[in-house]
Amino acid sequence: MSKMVPWLVLISMLLALYGAFVYAPTERVMGPVQRIFYVHVGLAWNAFLAFFVVFLYSLLYLVRGRRRDDMVAACSAEVGLIFTTLVLVTGPLWARPVWNTWWPWGDPRLTTTLVLWLIYLAYMVLRSQMEESEQKYKFAAVLGIVGFLDVPIVWMSIRWWTRTLHPVVIRSGEVRLEPRMFHALLIAVVAFGLLYLYLLQLRLGIEQSKSRIEQFRQQSGLAG
């Protein structure tokens, strides 16, 4: 299965590009720039998925104390942070021609997303600055769990605060998109989901290899 993932990612990405730029109709008000929507939302939803995995495996680490759980959380946070960074890049590219500003300060969705990015940036800084130890893994796990609390706030921000420029696309099971637009969105979400899984797999493999090398060095030192 692991060997198939890169091909699935490639095929799904090509389908996502076709869906966004060919299959989906041009939005009547915003025009062609609206097509960034499919990339923007696909990245955002999978960033949420990545941070949920951080939450889940951080919780598992605190319960079971397994180093691999901490590795999965750390690797997922890294991919999630990359996706969130791209969300914060594609958002202004879409906003500038539509809202006549790169960053509308005060918009709750933008502000809470920026806070989310800062939380997981702090998570990565914490991991990079502390020595490898059980204390580091526990601190990171707690931050990974607490940081996830911002995800539902980001999601609900456009429903809780009325002064927002972001439209509500899905409300009470109702999808406020033309069918072909919705299909293109689903394809993009699946494509970026597969990309997330592939990057997580690669990153986890690197961390596990580093861990085995470190264990070998320690055993060699003891043997010497």
How much of the chain exceeds pLDDT 90, in percent?
A: 55
pLDDT value at 149 more than 90: yes
pLDDT category of residue 79 using cuts at 50, 70 and 90: very high
What phi, psi does 163 have (nearest 5°)? -85, 75
Burial of residue 170 (number of CB atoms within 10 Å: 0-12, 13-18, 19+): exposed
* pLDDT at residue number 175: 67
Helix axes 108-129, 67-99, angle to 10 degrees: 150
pLDDT value at 59 more than 70: yes
For the stretch 27-53, pLDDT in tens is 888 888 888 989 999 999 999 999 999
Cα(114)–Cα(84) distance, rounded to whole angstroms? 9
- Who contacts 24 (Cβ-Cβ below 8 Å, separation ≥6)? 35, 38, 178, 180, 181, 183, 184
For the stretch 202-215, pLDDT in tens is 999 888 888 788 77
The predicted model scores a pTM of 0.88
What phi, psi does 159 have (nearest 5°)? -100, -30
Q: Other CB atoms closer than 10 Å to residue 91's CB: what's the count?
A: 23
- Torsion over CA of 123, 129, 134 and 139, rounded to 10 degrees? -30
Q: 27 pairs with which residues across the strands?
A: 31
- How many Cα atoms are found within 13 Å in the side-chain-facing hemisphere of 15? 17
Eight-state DSSP code of residue 4: T
